Structure 1
Amino acid sequence: MQKWDEESRTRIFTGTILSVSVGATCGGLAAFFYNRSFLRYTIATGINCGIFGLSFFSIRELCLAHQQKNKPRRYNIRNTDELISSIIAGGLTGGLFSSIIHGRQGLLSRIFLFSLISGVGQVCYTSAYNYRQQLILKTKNVQQYPPLESNPPTKKILNNDKKETKDKKMTEGLLNWLASKKWTGVKKISEEEYKQIKQARAEAKGMQLEDSTTDENSNNHQS
Protein backbone atom coordinates (compact mmCIF):
# COMPACT_ATOMS: atom_id res chain seq x y z
CA MET A 1 0.00 0.00 0.00
CA GLN A 2 2.92 2.30 0.68
CA LYS A 3 4.19 1.89 -2.86
CA TRP A 4 0.72 2.65 -4.18
CA ASP A 5 0.53 5.84 -2.07
CA GLU A 6 3.89 7.01 -3.41
CA GLU A 7 2.81 6.39 -6.99
CA SER A 8 -0.47 8.19 -6.36
CA ARG A 9 1.26 11.23 -4.91
CA THR A 10 3.67 11.30 -7.81
CA ARG A 11 0.86 11.20 -10.38
CA ILE A 12 -1.10 13.91 -8.54
CA PHE A 13 1.96 16.15 -8.31
CA THR A 14 2.93 15.61 -11.94
CA GLY A 15 -0.62 16.21 -13.16
CA THR A 16 -0.95 19.39 -11.10
CA ILE A 17 2.34 20.81 -12.37
CA LEU A 18 1.33 19.99 -15.94
CA SER A 19 -2.04 21.70 -15.43
CA VAL A 20 -0.37 24.82 -14.04
CA SER A 21 2.05 24.92 -16.98
CA VAL A 22 -0.69 24.51 -19.59
CA GLY A 23 -2.89 27.08 -17.84
CA ALA A 24 -0.12 29.65 -17.55
CA THR A 25 0.82 29.16 -21.20
CA CYS A 26 -2.77 29.56 -22.39
CA GLY A 27 -3.21 32.61 -20.13
CA GLY A 28 -0.10 34.22 -21.54
CA LEU A 29 -1.24 33.61 -25.12
CA ALA A 30 -4.71 34.98 -24.35
CA ALA A 31 -3.19 38.11 -22.79
CA PHE A 32 -1.01 38.61 -25.85
CA PHE A 33 -3.84 38.28 -28.39
CA TYR A 34 -6.39 40.31 -26.41
CA ASN A 35 -3.84 42.93 -25.32
CA ARG A 36 -4.37 42.36 -21.60
CA SER A 37 -2.03 42.28 -18.63
CA PHE A 38 0.36 39.43 -19.41
CA LEU A 39 1.49 38.75 -15.83
CA ARG A 40 -1.98 38.86 -14.31
CA TYR A 41 -3.55 36.59 -16.93
CA THR A 42 -0.67 34.14 -16.77
CA ILE A 43 -0.73 33.83 -12.98
CA ALA A 44 -4.53 33.74 -12.68
CA THR A 45 -5.01 31.13 -15.39
CA GLY A 46 -2.14 29.04 -14.05
CA ILE A 47 -3.60 29.04 -10.52
CA ASN A 48 -7.11 28.19 -11.72
CA CYS A 49 -5.90 25.34 -13.92
CA GLY A 50 -3.66 24.13 -11.10
CA ILE A 51 -6.61 23.94 -8.69
CA PHE A 52 -8.69 22.16 -11.31
CA GLY A 53 -5.84 19.72 -12.05
CA LEU A 54 -5.22 19.04 -8.37
CA SER A 55 -8.91 18.28 -7.82
CA PHE A 56 -9.18 16.15 -10.95
CA PHE A 57 -6.11 13.98 -10.30
CA SER A 58 -6.94 13.61 -6.59
CA ILE A 59 -10.44 12.33 -7.37
CA ARG A 60 -9.02 10.10 -10.10
CA GLU A 61 -6.53 8.52 -7.71
CA LEU A 62 -9.28 7.97 -5.13
CA CYS A 63 -11.31 6.11 -7.75
CA LEU A 64 -8.29 4.02 -8.76
CA ALA A 65 -7.53 3.23 -5.12
CA HIS A 66 -11.12 2.13 -4.59
CA GLN A 67 -10.94 -0.16 -7.62
CA GLN A 68 -7.62 -1.54 -6.43
CA LYS A 69 -9.08 -2.22 -2.99
CA ASN A 70 -11.85 -4.39 -4.40
CA LYS A 71 -9.48 -6.40 -6.59
CA PRO A 72 -6.92 -9.11 -5.71
CA ARG A 73 -3.68 -8.03 -4.08
CA ARG A 74 -1.52 -8.41 -7.19
CA TYR A 75 -4.12 -6.96 -9.52
CA ASN A 76 -2.69 -4.59 -12.11
CA ILE A 77 -4.57 -1.48 -13.16
CA ARG A 78 -6.04 -1.90 -16.61
CA ASN A 79 -6.85 0.69 -19.24
CA THR A 80 -10.57 0.40 -18.50
CA ASP A 81 -9.96 1.21 -14.82
CA GLU A 82 -8.08 4.37 -15.74
CA LEU A 83 -10.74 5.34 -18.28
CA ILE A 84 -13.59 4.96 -15.77
CA SER A 85 -11.66 6.86 -13.09
CA SER A 86 -10.88 9.71 -15.49
CA ILE A 87 -14.51 9.98 -16.61
CA ILE A 88 -15.76 10.11 -13.01
CA ALA A 89 -13.06 12.59 -11.96
CA GLY A 90 -13.71 14.82 -14.96
CA GLY A 91 -17.46 14.88 -14.39
CA LEU A 92 -17.20 15.60 -10.65
CA THR A 93 -14.47 18.23 -10.99
CA GLY A 94 -16.08 19.96 -13.95
CA GLY A 95 -19.50 19.89 -12.34
CA LEU A 96 -18.16 21.30 -9.07
CA PHE A 97 -16.32 24.24 -10.62
CA SER A 98 -19.13 24.93 -13.09
CA SER A 99 -21.69 25.09 -10.28
CA ILE A 100 -19.44 27.51 -8.37
CA ILE A 101 -18.95 29.79 -11.38
CA HIS A 102 -22.22 29.46 -13.31
CA GLY A 103 -24.63 28.06 -10.74
CA ARG A 104 -26.73 24.91 -10.96
CA GLN A 105 -28.41 25.72 -14.24
CA GLY A 106 -27.26 23.34 -16.97
CA LEU A 107 -25.17 21.37 -14.47
CA LEU A 108 -25.90 17.94 -15.98
CA SER A 109 -24.85 19.01 -19.45
CA ARG A 110 -21.59 20.43 -18.13
CA ILE A 111 -20.91 17.26 -16.13
CA PHE A 112 -21.47 15.22 -19.29
CA LEU A 113 -19.21 17.53 -21.30
CA PHE A 114 -16.32 17.37 -18.81
CA SER A 115 -16.72 13.60 -18.50
CA LEU A 116 -16.55 13.26 -22.27
CA ILE A 117 -13.46 15.47 -22.52
CA SER A 118 -11.72 13.53 -19.73
CA GLY A 119 -12.60 10.18 -21.32
CA VAL A 120 -11.31 11.21 -24.74
CA GLY A 121 -8.15 12.61 -23.18
CA GLN A 122 -7.57 9.37 -21.27
CA VAL A 123 -8.04 7.29 -24.42
CA CYS A 124 -5.54 9.46 -26.33
CA TYR A 125 -3.02 9.27 -23.48
CA THR A 126 -3.39 5.49 -23.15
CA SER A 127 -2.97 4.99 -26.90
CA ALA A 128 0.16 7.14 -27.00
CA TYR A 129 1.60 5.41 -23.92
CA ASN A 130 0.96 1.90 -25.30
CA TYR A 131 2.48 2.88 -28.65
CA ARG A 132 5.58 4.19 -26.88
CA GLN A 133 5.89 0.95 -24.87
CA GLN A 134 5.63 -1.11 -28.04
CA LEU A 135 8.41 0.91 -29.63
CA ILE A 136 10.62 0.40 -26.57
CA LEU A 137 9.98 -3.36 -26.52
CA LYS A 138 10.58 -3.57 -30.24
CA THR A 139 13.89 -1.74 -29.88
CA LYS A 140 15.00 -4.02 -27.03
CA ASN A 141 14.07 -7.14 -28.98
CA VAL A 142 16.03 -5.94 -32.01
CA GLN A 143 19.10 -5.22 -29.84
CA GLN A 144 18.85 -8.50 -27.91
CA TYR A 145 17.84 -10.70 -30.80
CA PRO A 146 19.24 -9.27 -34.05
CA PRO A 147 17.30 -10.17 -37.18
CA LEU A 148 18.35 -13.31 -39.01
CA GLU A 149 20.53 -12.82 -42.05
CA SER A 150 18.90 -13.28 -45.41
CA ASN A 151 21.59 -15.88 -46.09
CA PRO A 152 22.73 -17.34 -42.74
CA PRO A 153 26.08 -19.19 -42.54
CA THR A 154 24.46 -22.65 -42.72
CA LYS A 155 22.51 -21.71 -45.79
CA LYS A 156 25.61 -20.18 -47.39
CA ILE A 157 27.59 -23.39 -46.77
CA LEU A 158 24.85 -25.49 -48.32
CA ASN A 159 24.69 -23.18 -51.32
CA ASN A 160 28.48 -23.38 -51.74
CA ASP A 161 28.39 -27.18 -51.54
CA LYS A 162 25.67 -27.33 -54.16
CA LYS A 163 27.63 -24.98 -56.40
CA GLU A 164 30.84 -27.03 -56.02
CA THR A 165 28.97 -30.25 -56.78
CA LYS A 166 27.42 -28.69 -59.87
CA ASP A 167 30.81 -27.38 -61.07
CA LYS A 168 32.39 -30.76 -60.45
CA LYS A 169 29.74 -32.52 -62.51
CA MET A 170 30.18 -30.03 -65.33
CA THR A 171 33.97 -30.54 -65.27
CA GLU A 172 33.65 -34.33 -65.24
CA GLY A 173 31.18 -34.17 -68.10
CA LEU A 174 33.55 -32.01 -70.14
CA LEU A 175 36.51 -34.33 -69.48
CA ASN A 176 34.47 -37.40 -70.39
CA TRP A 177 33.44 -35.75 -73.63
CA LEU A 178 37.04 -34.85 -74.46
CA ALA A 179 38.19 -38.38 -73.64
CA SER A 180 35.60 -39.82 -76.01
CA LYS A 181 37.12 -37.89 -78.92
CA LYS A 182 40.31 -39.38 -80.35
CA TRP A 183 41.48 -36.16 -81.94
CA THR A 184 41.74 -34.41 -78.55
CA GLY A 185 44.52 -36.67 -77.25
CA VAL A 186 42.79 -36.84 -73.85
CA LYS A 187 42.72 -40.30 -72.32
CA LYS A 188 40.48 -41.36 -69.47
CA ILE A 189 42.23 -43.43 -66.81
CA SER A 190 40.79 -45.52 -64.03
CA GLU A 191 41.25 -44.83 -60.36
CA GLU A 192 43.76 -47.69 -60.05
CA GLU A 193 45.86 -46.29 -62.87
CA TYR A 194 45.72 -42.85 -61.24
CA LYS A 195 47.07 -44.33 -57.97
CA GLN A 196 49.92 -46.10 -59.80
CA ILE A 197 50.92 -42.90 -61.59
CA LYS A 198 50.81 -40.96 -58.34
CA GLN A 199 52.96 -43.57 -56.58
CA ALA A 200 55.48 -43.60 -59.42
CA ARG A 201 55.79 -39.81 -59.27
CA ALA A 202 56.34 -39.95 -55.51
CA GLU A 203 59.09 -42.60 -55.91
CA ALA A 204 60.76 -40.55 -58.63
CA LYS A 205 60.68 -37.46 -56.47
CA GLY A 206 62.18 -39.42 -53.56
CA MET A 207 65.00 -40.70 -55.76
CA GLN A 208 65.76 -37.14 -56.90
CA LEU A 209 66.03 -36.02 -53.28
CA GLU A 210 68.39 -38.89 -52.49
CA ASP A 211 70.58 -38.05 -55.50
CA SER A 212 70.77 -34.38 -54.53
CA THR A 213 71.70 -35.31 -50.95
CA THR A 214 74.43 -37.67 -52.20
CA ASP A 215 75.88 -34.98 -54.47
CA GLU A 216 76.02 -32.49 -51.60
CA ASN A 217 77.82 -34.98 -49.36
CA SER A 218 80.37 -35.71 -52.12
CA ASN A 219 81.08 -32.04 -52.62
CA ASN A 220 81.59 -31.58 -48.89
CA HIS A 221 84.10 -34.46 -48.74
CA GLN A 222 86.06 -33.11 -51.73
CA SER A 223 86.33 -29.67 -50.16
Structure 2
Amino acid sequence: MENKAPRNYLEGPVEILKNASLLAACGASYGAILTMAKLKPNLLKNSIQSGLNWGMFGIAFFSVRRSFLKDQHIGNESLKLKHSVTRDTDELFSSIFAGGITGGLLSGLIWGRARVFSGVIIYSGLCGLGQFGYTSIYRYRQQQILSHIPSEADDQDRPQFIPKYTFSQWLDRTIENLPDWSPVTKVSDEDYLKLLQSQRDKITLELGEAKAALMEVEQELEQYKKSQ
Protein backbone atom coordinates (compact mmCIF):
# COMPACT_ATOMS: atom_id res chain seq x y z
CA MET A 1 0.00 0.00 0.00
CA GLU A 2 1.29 3.46 -0.87
CA ASN A 3 2.36 5.50 2.12
CA LYS A 4 0.46 8.74 1.54
CA ALA A 5 0.42 11.59 4.00
CA PRO A 6 -2.92 13.18 4.96
CA ARG A 7 -3.81 16.28 3.01
CA ASN A 8 -3.68 18.54 6.07
CA TYR A 9 -0.17 17.26 6.84
CA LEU A 10 1.46 18.75 3.73
CA GLU A 11 -0.38 22.07 3.69
CA GLY A 12 -1.25 23.55 0.32
CA PRO A 13 -1.34 27.29 -0.48
CA VAL A 14 -4.88 27.64 0.88
CA GLU A 15 -3.96 26.03 4.21
CA ILE A 16 -0.83 28.17 4.44
CA LEU A 17 -2.86 31.36 3.92
CA LYS A 18 -5.48 30.24 6.45
CA ASN A 19 -2.83 29.54 9.09
CA ALA A 20 -1.02 32.79 8.31
CA SER A 21 -4.32 34.73 8.56
CA LEU A 22 -5.01 33.18 11.95
CA LEU A 23 -1.51 34.13 13.08
CA ALA A 24 -2.02 37.68 11.75
CA ALA A 25 -5.26 37.98 13.74
CA CYS A 26 -3.42 36.87 16.88
CA GLY A 27 -0.68 39.40 16.15
CA ALA A 28 -3.17 42.22 15.68
CA SER A 29 -4.86 41.35 18.97
CA TYR A 30 -1.49 41.19 20.71
CA GLY A 31 -0.51 44.59 19.30
CA ALA A 32 -3.77 46.16 20.44
CA ILE A 33 -3.53 44.68 23.95
CA LEU A 34 0.10 45.75 24.30
CA THR A 35 -0.71 49.29 23.16
CA MET A 36 -3.57 49.61 25.64
CA ALA A 37 -1.48 48.12 28.46
CA LYS A 38 1.28 50.69 27.88
CA LEU A 39 -1.27 53.52 27.42
CA LYS A 40 0.24 54.49 24.08
CA PRO A 41 -1.53 56.31 21.22
CA ASN A 42 -2.15 55.01 17.68
CA LEU A 43 -3.97 51.86 18.77
CA LEU A 44 -5.19 50.98 15.27
CA LYS A 45 -1.80 51.63 13.65
CA ASN A 46 0.08 49.47 16.15
CA SER A 47 -2.49 46.71 15.88
CA ILE A 48 -2.30 46.64 12.07
CA GLN A 49 1.49 46.77 12.08
CA SER A 50 1.72 43.89 14.57
CA GLY A 51 -0.79 41.87 12.55
CA LEU A 52 1.17 42.41 9.33
CA ASN A 53 4.43 41.35 10.99
CA TRP A 54 2.87 38.19 12.39
CA GLY A 55 1.13 37.43 9.10
CA MET A 56 4.35 37.88 7.12
CA PHE A 57 6.12 35.54 9.52
CA GLY A 58 3.26 33.03 9.21
CA ILE A 59 3.39 32.90 5.41
CA ALA A 60 7.16 32.46 5.39
CA PHE A 61 7.14 29.96 8.26
CA PHE A 62 4.42 27.66 6.93
CA SER A 63 5.88 27.77 3.41
CA VAL A 64 9.36 26.78 4.59
CA ARG A 65 7.88 24.19 6.94
CA ARG A 66 5.93 22.62 4.08
CA SER A 67 9.13 22.33 2.03
CA PHE A 68 10.89 20.53 4.89
CA LEU A 69 7.92 18.20 5.39
CA LYS A 70 7.82 17.29 1.69
CA ASP A 71 11.54 16.48 1.67
CA GLN A 72 11.19 14.34 4.78
CA HIS A 73 8.14 12.55 3.38
CA ILE A 74 10.03 11.70 0.19
CA GLY A 75 12.91 10.38 2.28
CA ASN A 76 10.52 8.27 4.37
CA GLU A 77 9.06 6.72 1.23
CA SER A 78 12.51 5.74 -0.02
CA LEU A 79 13.22 4.09 3.36
CA LYS A 80 9.72 2.51 3.45
CA LEU A 81 8.90 4.22 6.74
CA LYS A 82 5.24 4.64 7.69
CA HIS A 83 3.97 8.18 7.89
CA SER A 84 2.12 7.46 11.15
CA VAL A 85 5.42 6.52 12.82
CA THR A 86 7.50 9.50 11.69
CA ARG A 87 4.88 12.25 11.66
CA ASP A 88 5.53 13.70 15.13
CA THR A 89 9.28 13.87 14.64
CA ASP A 90 8.96 15.21 11.09
CA GLU A 91 6.64 18.00 12.19
CA LEU A 92 8.82 18.96 15.15
CA PHE A 93 12.03 18.90 13.10
CA SER A 94 10.41 20.95 10.30
CA SER A 95 8.93 23.51 12.70
CA ILE A 96 12.24 24.07 14.50
CA PHE A 97 14.22 24.63 11.31
CA ALA A 98 11.46 26.64 9.60
CA GLY A 99 11.15 28.85 12.68
CA GLY A 100 14.90 29.40 12.83
CA ILE A 101 15.24 30.23 9.14
CA THR A 102 12.18 32.49 9.03
CA GLY A 103 12.92 34.19 12.35
CA GLY A 104 16.53 34.84 11.39
CA LEU A 105 15.65 36.33 8.00
CA LEU A 106 12.84 38.54 9.29
CA SER A 107 14.89 39.69 12.29
CA GLY A 108 17.65 40.71 9.90
CA LEU A 109 15.22 42.58 7.65
CA ILE A 110 13.45 44.40 10.48
CA TRP A 111 16.20 45.03 13.06
CA GLY A 112 19.42 44.56 11.10
CA ARG A 113 22.08 41.92 10.57
CA ALA A 114 23.16 41.96 14.21
CA ARG A 115 19.84 40.36 15.21
CA VAL A 116 19.96 37.45 12.75
CA PHE A 117 21.61 34.92 15.07
CA SER A 118 19.41 35.76 18.06
CA GLY A 119 16.37 35.55 15.78
CA VAL A 120 17.36 32.06 14.66
CA ILE A 121 17.79 30.84 18.25
CA ILE A 122 14.67 32.47 19.69
CA TYR A 123 12.24 31.60 16.90
CA SER A 124 13.48 28.04 16.45
CA GLY A 125 12.97 27.49 20.17
CA LEU A 126 9.51 29.09 20.22
CA CYS A 127 8.33 27.18 17.15
CA GLY A 128 9.73 23.93 18.50
CA LEU A 129 7.96 24.41 21.84
CA GLY A 130 4.75 25.39 20.07
CA GLN A 131 4.85 22.32 17.83
CA PHE A 132 5.64 20.02 20.77
CA GLY A 133 2.73 21.46 22.75
CA TYR A 134 0.33 21.14 19.80
CA THR A 135 1.39 17.53 19.17
CA SER A 136 1.02 16.62 22.84
CA ILE A 137 -2.51 18.05 22.98
CA TYR A 138 -3.45 16.36 19.70
CA ARG A 139 -2.17 12.97 20.86
CA TYR A 140 -3.94 13.32 24.21
CA ARG A 141 -7.19 14.08 22.42
CA GLN A 142 -6.73 11.05 20.15
CA GLN A 143 -6.09 8.82 23.16
CA GLN A 144 -9.27 10.10 24.80
CA ILE A 145 -11.26 9.35 21.66
CA LEU A 146 -9.82 5.84 21.42
CA SER A 147 -10.60 5.14 25.07
CA HIS A 148 -14.31 5.86 24.47
CA ILE A 149 -14.75 3.67 21.39
CA PRO A 150 -17.25 0.83 22.10
CA SER A 151 -15.66 -2.63 22.12
CA GLU A 152 -18.38 -3.92 19.75
CA ALA A 153 -17.31 -1.55 16.99
CA ASP A 154 -16.19 -3.06 13.73
CA ASP A 155 -12.40 -3.32 13.50
CA GLN A 156 -12.47 -1.69 10.07
CA ASP A 157 -14.13 1.40 11.53
CA ARG A 158 -11.60 1.75 14.34
CA PRO A 159 -9.04 4.54 13.91
CA GLN A 160 -5.45 3.38 13.69
CA PHE A 161 -3.85 2.97 17.10
CA ILE A 162 -1.49 5.82 17.85
CA PRO A 163 1.56 4.68 19.81
CA LYS A 164 2.41 6.72 22.89
CA TYR A 165 6.07 7.61 22.95
CA THR A 166 8.03 8.44 26.04
CA PHE A 167 10.06 11.64 26.12
CA SER A 168 13.27 9.58 25.90
CA GLN A 169 12.07 7.76 22.76
CA TRP A 170 10.96 11.04 21.20
CA LEU A 171 14.30 12.67 22.00
CA ASP A 172 16.26 9.71 20.57
CA ARG A 173 14.30 9.81 17.33
CA THR A 174 14.69 13.59 17.06
CA ILE A 175 18.49 13.30 17.42
CA GLU A 176 18.61 10.48 14.84
CA ASN A 177 16.85 12.74 12.31
CA LEU A 178 19.23 15.67 12.74
CA PRO A 179 21.45 16.40 9.71
CA ASP A 180 25.13 15.44 9.66
CA TRP A 181 26.27 19.05 10.09
CA SER A 182 24.32 19.48 13.34
CA PRO A 183 26.55 19.92 16.45
CA VAL A 184 24.10 17.77 18.44
CA THR A 185 24.98 14.05 18.38
CA LYS A 186 24.05 11.00 20.42
CA VAL A 187 26.79 9.21 22.37
CA SER A 188 26.71 5.98 24.34
CA ASP A 189 27.25 5.81 28.10
CA GLU A 190 30.71 4.33 27.53
CA ASP A 191 31.73 7.11 25.13
CA TYR A 192 30.40 9.74 27.53
CA LEU A 193 32.40 8.20 30.41
CA LYS A 194 35.56 8.25 28.27
CA LEU A 195 34.87 11.90 27.44
CA LEU A 196 34.53 12.78 31.13
CA GLN A 197 37.74 10.91 31.97
CA SER A 198 39.56 12.73 29.19
CA GLN A 199 38.35 16.09 30.50
CA ARG A 200 39.38 15.08 34.04
CA ASP A 201 42.88 14.11 32.89
CA LYS A 202 43.18 17.37 30.97
CA ILE A 203 42.15 19.43 34.00
CA THR A 204 44.52 17.45 36.25
CA LEU A 205 47.40 18.12 33.86
CA GLU A 206 46.60 21.83 33.69
CA LEU A 207 46.40 22.03 37.50
CA GLY A 208 49.81 20.32 37.75
CA GLU A 209 51.33 22.78 35.31
CA ALA A 210 49.80 25.70 37.18
CA LYS A 211 51.13 24.36 40.49
CA ALA A 212 54.62 23.95 39.04
CA ALA A 213 54.53 27.48 37.64
CA LEU A 214 53.39 28.81 41.02
CA MET A 215 56.27 27.03 42.78
CA GLU A 216 58.75 28.58 40.34
CA VAL A 217 57.34 32.02 41.05
CA GLU A 218 57.61 31.43 44.81
CA GLN A 219 61.24 30.29 44.46
CA GLU A 220 62.12 33.33 42.40
CA LEU A 221 60.42 35.53 44.98
CA GLU A 222 62.42 33.96 47.83
CA GLN A 223 65.68 34.39 45.90
CA TYR A 224 64.81 38.00 45.26
CA LYS A 225 64.16 38.60 48.97
CA LYS A 226 67.48 36.97 49.94
CA SER A 227 69.38 39.11 47.46
CA GLN A 228 68.03 42.33 49.00
TM-score tier after normalising by the smaller chain length: 0.5 to 0.7
What one-letter code is carried by the residue in structure 2 that aligns with 1:71? N
Is residue 21 from structure 1 mapped to residue 25 from structure 2 by the alignment? yes
Distance apart, 1:84 and its partner CA: 0.6
Gap regions ≥5 residues in structure 2: 155-228
The whole-number CA distance in structure 2 between the counterparts of 1:2 and 1:137 is: 21
The whole-number CA distance in structure 2 between the counterparts of 1:142 and 1:29 is: 49
Is residue 36 from structure 1 mapped to residue 41 from structure 2 by the alignment? yes
Q: Which has the larger radius of gyration?
A: 1
What one-letter code is carried by the residue in structure 2 that aligns with 1:134? Q
Q: How many residues align?
A: 145
Q: What CA deviation, in whole Å up to 9, does each residue of 1:85-140 have, x standing for no partner? A: 00110000000011112222242232112111111111111101101111111222
The whole-number CA distance in structure 2 between the counterparts of 1:134 and 1:6 is: 19
Q: What CA deviation, in whole Å up to 9, does each residue of 1:53-86 have, x standing for no partner? A: 1110110011000111122177415211111100
Written as runs of structure 1 = structure 2, the 5 A alignment for 1:173-188 is none
Aligned to 1:88: 97
- TM-score for the superposition, normalised by structure 1: 0.58
Aligned to 1:134: 143
- TM-score for the superposition, normalised by structure 2: 0.57
The whole-number CA distance in structure 1 between the counterparts of 2:5 and 2:92 is: 24
Gap regions ≥5 residues in structure 1: 146-223
The whole-number CA distance in structure 2 between the counterparts of 1:59 and 1:96 is: 12
CA RMSD in angstroms, aligned pairs only: 2.7
Distance apart, 1:6 and its partner CA: 9.0
The whole-number CA distance in structure 1 between the counterparts of 2:76 and 2:142 is: 25
Aligned to 1:202: none
> CA separation of 1:126/1:111 partners in 2, compared to 1, >3 Å: closer, same or farther?
same
Distance apart, 1:35 and its partner CA: 3.0
What one-letter code is carried by the residue in structure 2 that aligns with 1:8? E
> CA separation of 1:62/1:44 partners in 2, compared to 1, >3 Å: closer, same or farther?
same
The whole-number CA distance in structure 2 between the counterparts of 1:29 and 1:106 is: 25
Higher relative contact order (CA 8 A, sep 6+): 2
The whole-number CA distance in structure 2 between the counterparts of 1:144 and 1:95 is: 50
* Richer in helix (by share): 1
> CA separation of 1:85/1:2 partners in 2, compared to 1, >3 Å: closer, same or farther?
closer
Aligned to 1:78: 87
Distance apart, 1:142 and its partner CA: 6.9
Is residue 57 from structure 1 mapped to residue 62 from structure 2 by the alignment? yes
Written as runs of structure 1 = structure 2, the 5 A alignment for 1:162-201 is none
> Structure 1 vs Structure 2: percent identity of aligned residues?
36
The whole-number CA distance in structure 2 between the counterparts of 1:6 and 1:106 is: 32
